[in-house]
Amino acid sequence: MDDSLKKIEAQLQNLIPRAQSEHGRAHCHALIDDLCAGTRRTAKESPFGVSWLGGAVAASLALSVGLGGGWYLGRDTGGAVSSNLRQAREVITADFDQLDRETWMLGSENPGVYVSREGEVRELVQETEITKETVKHRESGIIVTVETTDYHLIDSLKSEF
Amino acid sequence: MGKKQESLGSQWKSWLDESAPRLLAYARSRCNNAQEAEDLLQDALIKLWAYQEEREHLPPDLPLAFSVMRYLGLDHGRRKGRRQKRDQKIIQFQKDEDSWLDPTMEDSEEADILRKEVNSLPDKLREVINLKIWGGLTFAEIGKLLSISNNTAASRYRYALEQLQKKLKHLKNTNHG
């Protein structure tokens, strides 16, 4: 790196990022106190930690309960499904322990470049989001790991590099 | 609260006081405004606390903190609609009063120009500059964080410096006739 770039680098190092606001700092310190005292739940400890998995199983259970209870086409006695759904969710969150949940992103290495009608050079990048969730059924001890992949298409102005 | 918790709390607060400006500067490159960046930092604290469970909840290494901030920033951007966010960000970064680099710390003309020009760098370049200059990460750490090679990280850094150099030269020439 030549001297002129080193000079720019040194100038950048002299620019100081803004400090945290007093309000933000106080809030973070209170948050740390809560975390240390164990009075704030993290995502890992959340009773609804099974999130989408719990929701999906709860919905299927609720449907079974609903159908078993006479709620099917033409024979809706009214109001049973929503209460059954609540019960099913309680069963799911009570019966499963969330062991682990990880989410990470994978970037696409081959962005597609195109010129828009406005004459802008834009690029399309596909980002891949992987979610891996492991839950354990308390009674049977069965451990299930579910991995899902979501694709997100990002359309943005092309950078100069 | 027991002595152990108090000691842990003090360690986290010291870590936060030291790391917050760096993390906030990085968060600002992914958010629309200072408030959102501070919210992101608070979300990151909760996640980092959970991640550090295996290490007796000790404060994390800075690369891990940046990694969590990056993930949360991506998630945040996705939720708000990234395209809209980027367009707004370009406009908002032009406002001095909302700059994430403190304008009160220096008042030279070059510093003022540099501050503005860093904000207008393309995302990929600004991110590397941010992580290297204010985050204090090595190219190896940046490469790992962004899932790119060390050489690509170093090239982006150099290219960003060259871009800034060009703009600085051009603007100085224009300003001085």
Q: What pLDDT shows up at residue A123?
A: 78
- Give the pair of three-digit tokens for residue A121: 């050079």
Residues of A in contact with B53 (CB under 8 A): 44
pLDDT digits (tens, 9 = 90+) for A93-125: 667 777 777 877 776 656 677 777 777 778 777
Nearest to residue B86, comparing CAs of A155, A48, A123, A61? A155
Judging contacts by C-beta atoms under 8 Å, the chain A residues touching residue B21 are: 16-20
Chain A residues with CB under 8 Å of B45 CB are: 28, 31-32, 35
Report residue B56 CA to chain centroid gap. Answer: 27
Residue of B nearest to A6 (CA): B161
Chain A hits for B170, CB-CB cut-off 8 Å, are: none
Percent of chain B exceeding pLDDT 90 equals: 34
pLDDT at position B11: 94
pLDDT mean over B78-91? 53
More confident residue, A140 or B160: B160
Q: Output the pLDDT for position B102.
A: 64
List chain A residues with CB under 8 Å of B159.
Answer: 161
A30 CB within 8 Å of a chain B CB: no
pLDDT of residue A41: 58
Judged by CB atoms within 8 Å, which residues 6-25 of A form the interface with B?
Answer: 8-9, 11-21, 24-25
pLDDT for residue A90? 59
Classified as helix, coil or strand, A127 is strand
What is the pLDDT at residue B23? 92
Size of the A and B interface in Cβ pairs below 8 Å: 144
The confidence score (pLDDT) of residue A47 equals 39
- B43-71 pLDDT tens trace: 999 999 988 888 889 999 999 999 999 88
**This model's pTM is above 0.80:** no
Greatest alpha-carbon pair distance for chain B in Å reads: 66
Token digits for B121?
């760098």
Average pLDDT rounded to a whole number, residues B121-143:
91
Domain annotation for chain B: domains and CATH numbers: 1-101 (no CATH), 106-177 (1.10.10.10)
Give the residue with greater pLDDT, B15 vs A156: B15
A120 vs A156: CA distance, rounded Å: 10
Residue A39 has a pLDDT of: 76
| Cα atoms in the Cβ-side hemisphere of radius 13 Å centred on A117 | 0
User: Which H, E and C letters describe A10-68, residue by residue?
Assistant: HHHHHCCECCCCHHHHHHHHHHHHHHHHCCCCCHHHCCCCCHHHHHHHHHHHHHHHHHH
A78 touching chain B per CB within 8 A: no
pLDDT at position A83 is 54
| Range 55-74 of B in CB contact (< 8 A) with A | 57, 71, 74
* Higher pLDDT among residues B46 and B169, named by residue: B46
Q: At what angle do helices B62-80 and B3-28 cross, to 10 degrees?
A: 50
How would residue B119 be classed by pLDDT, with cut points 50, 70 and 90?
confident
Rounded to 5 degrees, φ, ψ at B8 are: -65, -45
Q: So what's the pLDDT on residue A73?
A: 40
- Which of left, alpha, beta for B147 (phi over 0: left; psi -120 to 50: alpha)? left
DSSP string, B64-123: HHHHHHHHHHHHHHHHH-HHHHHHHHHHHHT-GGG-SB-TTS---HHHHHHHHHHHTS-H
Q: Which residues of A touch B169 (CB under 8 A)?
A: none
Picking from B101, B124, B162, the nearest residue to A17 by CB comes out as B101
pLDDT of residue A11: 87
Mean confidence (pLDDT) of chain B: 81
CA separation for the pair A50, B98 (Å, rounded): 39
Binned average pLDDT, 10 residues per bin, chain A of 161 residues: 86 82 89 85 45 48 44 43 54 69 71 76 78 80 80 72 47
Are B9 and A106 inside 8 Å of each other by CB? no
pLDDT of residue A51: 44
Q: Name the DSSP letter for residue A100.
A: E
Residues 2-31 of B with CB under 8 A from A: 5-6, 8-9, 12-13, 16-17, 20-22, 24-25
In this prediction, residue B9 has a pLDDT band, given cuts at 50, 70 and 90, of: very high
Q: Which of B98, B121, B133 to mutate to test the interface with A (most CBs of A within 10 A)?
A: B133
Asked if A83 has any chain B CB less than 8 Å from its own CB, the reply is no
Nearest residue in B to A32, CA atom: B9
Determine the Cα–Cα distance for residues B49 and A81; give it in Å rounded to an integer.
38
Contact B158 A1 (CB under 8 A): yes
Q: Does B100 touch chain A (CB under 8 A)?
A: yes
Q: pLDDT higher for A84 or B138?
A: B138
Indicate the range of A47-61, B29-43, B155-169 predicted with least confidence.
A47-61
